[in-house]
Amino acid sequence: MNSMNTNTEKLFTLMLITALLAEFLLILYPLSGFPSQSFSIVGVVVRSSSGLPEIYPGSKRVSLRVEAMYVGDESAYSVVGHLAPPSGIYFSAGSGPSAPARSLDDTMVSRVEKGDHVLFEWYLDISKELRPNTYTLNLNITYRSNNEVLYDVYSIEIEVSGYPGAQLSFVEAYLNPAAYPGSVDTDLYVVLENSGESSIVSGILTIELPRGFIISNPKASVGAVNSGDRFTVRFSDILVPQDAATGTYDALIYADLSMRTRDNVYYNSMAHIPIEFEVTEVLKEDPIIVSSVSVIYQGSPAPLLPSARGMTIRVAFTNRLPETVGSIAVVPRPPSGITIRSLSGTYANGIPPGGSCFLDMIVDVDEVIKPGLINIPLDMSYVRIVSDSSFIGKQSTSVGVVIESPHAYLPELSLISAYWGSPNPSPTYAGSRYTPLTMRLMNGGRYSVTGVSIEASSKYLRPIKSCEALAARLPPGSYSEVTLYFDVGMVPGEIPLNVRIKYIFDEFGAHLKSLREITIYLPVEEYPAAASYLEVVSYGWQNNYNVFPRTENASFQVVIANRAPFSVSGIILYLNLPENISSKGERTAKAYIDGPVRSLSTFTASFPITVGEVKPGRYKAELVADFILQSGGPGIRCIEKFDIEVGVNDDREAVEFINAGWYEGSVGPNTYGAQLIVCIRNNLIDAMRGAILEISLPRGFINAVDNSSLVRVPPSIIAQLPALPQLQPQEIGALIREYLRIYQTSQGGQVQAYSKGDILTFVISLHILGVDLGIHRFEGNLSYIDQWGTRRSVRLMIPVAVLGRTEYVGVKMNSSIIVRSRFTETILTIENYGTAPLYDVYLIVSPYQGMPLLIVSPSVTHIEKVDAGKKIDVPLTLAYNPFGYMTQAGGTTVITYGPVPLIASIIYRDASGAIKRFNNTVTVIVEPFIDLLVRDVRATGKHSSLTISGVITNLGSAIAYRVKATFSIRNVSAWTLIGDIAPAEEMAFRIEVPGYGEAGVLTIEYYDAFNQRLSKEITVRVELQPETPVTPPQERSLGIETWIVVGAVIAFLVIAFILIYRVLRARSPK
C-alpha cells in the first residue's frame, strides 16, 4: 500500500511539472490550437545495455528509441519529445524526460518538414522491485509551427521480462582416484553444462549420495560459468562402503546459484540435477614380499631360547609395486609354545614404491618348547593409496624362526676362594660362635647370571646363617662374595663343607635355572686364652690441663686398649677416688662405653671429678673395668682392675708478678691522673678468663676514677702512642686524652682468654698526693676464672717506685739585653722546677724565621745534670744577620729590627730514664744600628799625587745617609760623596789627592735616621808607584796587507754604486 501511494505521489509530481512547463511555453508561444496528430509513430526500439531486446527487473541504462514521421503541412520547429514513464521506471543518470528530435544520422534537427523522420532516445533504469509485465509510457511531442506551440500525445508500450531460469545439463560423473568398494577419501567428479541464457556468477552444489556412501562435506562451490560452458565439480572425502556392490549408482545434486543476465542483472536461481556414477572391482595383486627375518633382544641380535620373554621377531617387508602401499594390518597366527604379546614397527605407516618396512613381534617362548624351526603364518590387510584416495587389499604369507638349545649359552660359576673371617681372613678357633665364613664366586662364562644363591652345610658346624644371595647380577669375568655364619665345634682340624650354588640365566630374555654342588675343606685352629684383655695406655686430666685444689667438675680421661682377639662392648668403668676427691658427690666415678671396641683398638673414658681442699701432689686411685668379650654369640663377661694416679697442682704459683711502672715515666708527689702499668705473667692457668686486679692503695694514693683507695681493673691492651714533635704545657692534657681513648678502646674489646705464658697488663689511673720519694708497696689480689670454670684468686705484692718528676723547665735570658751590634754576648738560664733531677740534657736554641735576624752560637749545648730546684747558666753569642728580615703578617713590609723570638728546646731523661722534650720561647730586642765595614782599601801614588779606592759595606740594620769619604795626608785632603747605603748593601769609592806621603787618614762620615753625624777613621799606608819614561811612537809605512784591504773596499764601493745606478735608471720614466 505504501509503495502504491509513493508511485501516485511521484506521478502527481511529474504531471504538475509538465503542466508548469506547458504554461511556461504558452506564455512564450501562445497556443492557437488543440492537440493534433502531426507525427506518426513509425517504430519503438527497446534494447538492454547488452544490446538484446530482453530487459529484466533491475536492468540499467535500457535504451528506448522512438522513430516518428512528421505528417503536418507546415514546418515544425523546436521539436521536443517529453516521456512520462510509470512508477518503477526511472531515467538513467545523464538522461531526462525531455529529448530533442534527432535525424536518422543522429544529428540535431531544428526544423522538420513534412515526411521527415526524427528520432527520440531515452535511457531508463528498471527497478528491481518491478514485476515482469507490459508497461505503457506517455509520449508528448511539443513543437512550434506558425508561431504557435503545438503538441501531440502518444502511448508507447515496453515489456519487462522475467528472469531466465538456471539450466544445468548432466554430462558425466566418475570416482577418482579409487572407485572400489571400501575406498576412502576418494573424490566424485561431476561434469555439468550451463545450457541456460544467463551466466553463473557463483553457486553452492549439494550432493545426495546413495545409502551407505559417506561424504565428509556434501557441498561444493562453483565459480563464474558463462552460458554454454561446461564445468567440473569435485565432491571430496567420499567413503565407499566395504560391502558395496559393483555397478551404477544414482545421486542427486541440488544447485543454489547466483545468476547474471547479459545486461549484468544479478539474481538467484535453484536447480536439481540427477547424476550417475559407477563402483568397479578391485584388482587382485600381492604387493608385499618378506625380505628378511631376525630375532632381536633389547636392540641387539639374539638367539631365541626356551623360556625367553619379550623377544622381538623382526620381519622386513618390501613393496614390489611402483605405487605406495598404505597402512598395513598384520594378524599373526603363532604355533603352540609361542605367545605374541604385542606388535609394532613401521608397517602401519605403509611402504613407498620399491621401499620397505618392518614388523616387530614381541613374543614369549614356553619353557618346554623343543628347539628347532617353527613357522608363523601372517594375514595382512593393507591400504592402497592412489592419488590421495585409498582402498583395502589383503594378502597372506608366513615366516620361519629357529628355537636354539640353551646349553650353548649357560655360564658355569666357580668357587675361587673360601676362608674364615670377614672381610679379611682371620683365624677361627674351636668353640668360636657366630664365626663368619667368606666365599668368593666368579662367573667364568660368556654371559651374565642373576639370582645367585649359595648354601653351605657340614656336620661339624651349627648353622647360624647357612644361605645367602649374591649381588643382583654377576657379569662375565666378575666375582662376588658372601658371608655365612656358623658356630664352630670343639674339634680342630680340617672339616668338610658341602656347597650348593644356584643361579638363573636371564640373558636374551630367557629365565633358566641351574644348580651346581661343590665340596671344600676349611681349617679350624685352637686359640690360647690371654691373661688380661684390657690395658691402660694413659690417663690424666683432659687436654693436659692443670687442676688445683677446690676445682669442680674437672674431666679426668683414661685411654684403654683392647688386647683381646675379639671386640669388647658394654664396658662399665668404676674409678675409686681418694679422700676429698669425689664425682657428683660420691667417692666412685662411673663411665659407660657402649662399644664395640675392636681388637687392638683403644677407647677413651671421661670422669667428672671435683677436687676438694687437698694438698698439691699425686694421689692413687683404682680403676675397675666390667665388660663383655664378644667372642661370638652372647659373649663373655670379664672384670679387670688397674691402679692409676690423680695429680693436683699448686695454684699459688699460677701467676707471677713481673713489674710495675708509670706510663708517663717518672712521677712525683702532687701528680694527678698518672697511669700505673702492672704486668703479670700466667704460669700455670691453661685458659684464664675474666681476670680482675684488685689493689688496696696506701696513704697518699687515690683512685683517679672515683677518688677512693680501692682499685678494680681488668687487663688492657696498650697501643703505642705516636711520638709528638713538641710538648708544650697545654699539650699534656691532649696526650692524656689520647691515652685514655686507647685505654677505653682496649677495655671495650672482646673478652680474651689468656693461656700459659701470656702477659696480663693492667693500667691504673692514680692521683699521687704528698708522698715520699722511694718504693711504695701495693697489696693486690688477682681473681680469675680458670679453664674448668672455677673462680680463683692470688694475692700479689706490687712494688711501685715514686722517684719524683719535673713539673716545669724554666728558660730565661737577660731581660736587659739589647742587640746594637753584629755580635752580642748573653747568658741563658735553665731552672728545674720539680722534685727529680734532669739527666743528659740537650739545649737547642734556634730562630723561628727562614731568614733569621739573629743566629745563636752555639746552637746545641749539652748539660750532664740539672738538680731539682737548681739553675744552670749557659753562655751564648748572638750574631746579627744582615741578610735576615721579618715580614709583617698580611703585608709586604720587610723589617730588619725589633723583638726577635728564639725557640729553646730542651731534651732530657727523667729519673726513670724516659726521654722527654720541652719547648720554650725567649725574646731579644734588636735596635736599628749602622755598622760600616771598609774593605779592599788601596792607596797608590807618585811623588806629586796619589789615588785611594775601596768598598764600604753596611752590616747594620739601618740606612747610613749621606756617606762621605775624606782622605788627609800632610795637610792635604780630598773627599768624595758616596751617598746612602742600605743594610746589607755595599758601594765603592775613589779619591784623587794632589799630594803624597807614606800614610794618611781615611775618614768615613755618615748620618743616621735622627740626622746625627757619625764617623770612623782608618789609617791607610800609601804604596809608591815608580814612574816609567814615555817613549814616542815610531812612524811606519803602510804594509801590503793594508793596501789589499783598501783596494777591496774601493772595489766593493764601485760595484755597489754601479748596481744602484742601474736600478734607479730602470725605474725612472722614459
**Architecture of the domain delimited by 806-926:** Sandwich (2.60)
> Is 141 exposed, middle or buried, given 0-12, 13-18 or 19+ CB atoms closer than 10 A?
buried
Percent of the chain with pLDDT over 90: 17
Question: Which residue bears the cell 729590627?
Answer: 897
Average pLDDT of the segment spanning 159-188: 86
Q: In 3-state terms, what secondary structure has residue 732?
A: helix
State how far the Cα of 1001 lies from the Cα of 1015, in Å rounded to an integer: 12
User: CA nearest 660: which of 804, 801, 780, 767?
Assistant: 801
DSSP class of residue 198? S
- Taking only the tens place, the pLDDT of each residue in 441-484 is 888 888 888 888 899 999 888 888 889 888 778 888 888 889 99
CB-based burial, 488-525: b 16+ in 10 Å, e otherwise: bbeebeebebebebbbebbbbbbbbebeeebeeebebe
Just give the CATH number of 654-802.
Answer: 2.60.40.10
> Is 772 exposed, middle or buried, given 0-12, 13-18 or 19+ CB atoms closer than 10 A?
exposed
Contact 375/335 with Cβ under 8 angstroms?
yes
The domain defined by 932-1024 folds into: Immunoglobulin-like (2.60.40)
What are the residues facing 503 on neighbouring strands?
Answer: 514
Residue ranges per structural domain of the chain:
2-160, 168-279, 288-407, 414-508, 534-649, 654-802, 806-926, 932-1024
Q: Which residue has the higher pLDDT, 11 or 65?
A: 65
**43: which 3 cell numbers?**
517504430
Could you give the C-alpha distances from 977 to 961, 985, 1005, 1013, 1021, in angstroms and in order? Answer: 11, 16, 10, 15, 22
- Angle in degrees, CA 416, 421, 423, rounded to 5: 75
Q: What DSSP string runs through 826-846? A: EEEEEEEEESS-EEEEEEEEE
Q: In 3-state terms, what secondary structure has residue 893?
A: coil
What are the residues facing 874 on neighbouring strands?
Answer: 828
Provide the pLDDT for residue 542: 86
State how far the Cα of 392 lies from the Cα of 384, in Å rounded to an integer: 6
pTM over 0.85: no
Q: What DSSP string runs through 910-962? A: -TT--EEEEEEEEEEEE-----EEEEEEEEEE-SS-EEEEEEEEE-SSS-EEE
- Taking only the tens place, the pLDDT of each residue in 30-54 is 333 345 578 989 999 999 888 888 8
The domain made up of 414-508 is a member of CATH 2.60.40.10: yes
User: 8: pLDDT confidence band, cut at 50, 70 and 90?
Assistant: very low
Provide the pLDDT for residue 368: 86
Provide the pLDDT for residue 117: 92
State how far the Cα of 596 lies from the Cα of 453, in Å rounded to an integer: 31
Element (H, E) at 1047: helix 1040-1067
Q: Which residue has the higher pLDDT, 69 or 788?
A: 69
State how far the Cα of 590 lies from the Cα of 626, in Å rounded to an integer: 11
Question: How far is residue 44 CA from its own chain's centroid?
Answer: 96
Examine the pLDDT at 61 and tell me if it is beyond 60: yes
DSSP class of residue 1045? H
Provide the pLDDT for residue 723: 47
Q: In 3-state terms, what secondary structure has residue 385?
A: strand
Q: In 3-state terms, what secondary structure has residue 553?
A: strand
Provide the pLDDT for residue 68: 92
Amino acid at the residue 537: V
735-738 CB contacts, 8 Å cutoff, 24+ apart = 736/673
Contact 95/123 with Cβ under 8 angstroms?
yes
Amino acid at the residue 115: G
**Architecture of the domain delimited by 288-407:** Sandwich (2.60)
Provide the pLDDT for residue 24: 42
Which strands, in side-by-side order, build the sheet including 588-593?
Answer: 588-593, 567-576, 617-630, 636-648
Greatest distance between any 2 Cα atoms in the chain: 184
What are the residues facing 64 on neighbouring strands?
Answer: 46, 122
Arithmetic mean of pLDDT over the chain: 83
Examine the pLDDT at 535 and tell me if it is beyond 60: yes
State how far the Cα of 935 lies from the Cα of 932, in Å rounded to an integer: 10
Average pLDDT of the segment spanning 731-741: 54
Average pLDDT of the segment spanning 12-22: 48
Provide the pLDDT for residue 430: 65
- Taking only the tens place, the pLDDT of each residue in 194-212 is 988 889 989 999 999 999 8
Provide the pLDDT for residue 119: 92
Average pLDDT of the segment spanning 604-628: 89
Phi, psi dihedrals of residue 553, rounded to the nearest 5°: 55, 45
- Taking only the tens place, the pLDDT of each residue in 288-336 is 899 999 999 988 899 989 989 999 999 999 998 888 888 889 999 999 9
Place domain 168-279 in its CATH homologous superfamily: Immunoglobulins (2.60.40.10)
Strand pairing report for 915-926 and 818-819: parallel
User: CA nearest 576: which of 642, 647, 648?
Assistant: 642
State how far the Cα of 375 lies from the Cα of 1003, in Å rounded to an integer: 160
The domain defined by 2-160 folds into: Immunoglobulin-like (2.60.40)
Does residue 177 have a cis bond before it (omega within 30 degrees)?
A: yes
Phi, psi dihedrals of residue 789, rounded to the nearest 5°: 85, 15
Place domain 534-649 in its CATH homologous superfamily: Immunoglobulins (2.60.40.10)
Examine the pLDDT at 64 and tell me if it is beyond 70: yes
Where in 387-478 does DSSP place strands (E)?
389-403, 413-420, 435-443, 449-457, 461-465, 467-469, 473-474
Average pLDDT of the segment spanning 141-154: 89
Are 288-407 and 534-649 the same fold in CATH? yes
Percent of the chain with pLDDT over 70: 88
Neighbours of 226 (CB within 10 A): 11
Most confident segment among 222-236, 521-535, 813-827: 222-236
User: CA nearest 933: which of 990, 876, 998, 1006?
Assistant: 1006
- Taking only the tens place, the pLDDT of each residue in 374-426 is 999 998 888 877 776 777 778 888 898 998 888 888 888 888 889 988 888 88
Average pLDDT of the segment spanning 966-972: 88
